[in-house]
Amino acid sequence: MNRKDTLFKSEITKPGDFVFDDRVVRVFPDMINRSVPGYSLIVPMIGLLARRYAQKNTVLYDLGCSLGAVSLAMRAAVRKPGVEIMAVDSSAEMIRQLEDILADDKAIEAPDIRAARQDILDTRIENASVVVLNFTLQFLLPGRRLELLNRIANGLKP
């Protein structure tokens, strides 16, 4: 699945030219690692932060999860009873591929990851101890960002 990203060798001329479709899913690991400096360090660090702040019997949210790298990092790092990870993305192709990844993953004694195709603006945040927006907020219209951040704040445990 880790293919070299050559999708956008030519310049994108219209904002709608980029979508998280099956072409992007096939090359996403290469694409994200080349376009976000330090991405390979950021993901495991989020796992460590989740280990520090996750509370037992709560939900950890990965909003805009793409292929679930952060969800998997949190699952590898967090060992608290009753923790569940909710991986949310609006791209059907991303969620389909994440479900394939999860089906092949044989993690034992690790939190369950539930993948959901949904707009993060429609996601109910409840009983949360960790909510991650890893390079996601910039994809929302500026006028909708505070609304989402307020809903996250209201859904977080103390």
The 10s digit of each residue's pLDDT in 128-146 is 999 999 999 988 999 999 9
Report, as an integer, the average pLDDT of 26-55: 80
pLDDT for position 12: 46
Statement: 15-155 belongs to CATH 3.40.50.150: yes
Q: If you average pLDDT over each of 10-14, 30-34, 126-130, 133-137, which comes out highest? A: 126-130
- What does the mean pLDDT of the chain come to? 85
CB-CB contact of 43 with 73 (8 Å): yes
- 92 — pLDDT class (breaks 50, 70, 90): very high
- Lowest mean pLDDT: which of 9-13, 28-32, 43-47? 9-13
With CA atoms as reference, report the closest residue to 66 among 15, 142, 132: 132
Mean pLDDT of 79-101: 94
* Residue 157 · residue 55 · CB < 8 Å: yes
Choose among 64, 9, 63, 2: nearest CA to 28.
Answer: 2
- Residue of 73, 65, 67 whose CA lies nearest to 26: 67
pLDDT digits (tens, 9 = 90+) for 39-49: 788 999 999 99
The domain segmentation of the chain, as residue ranges, is 15-155
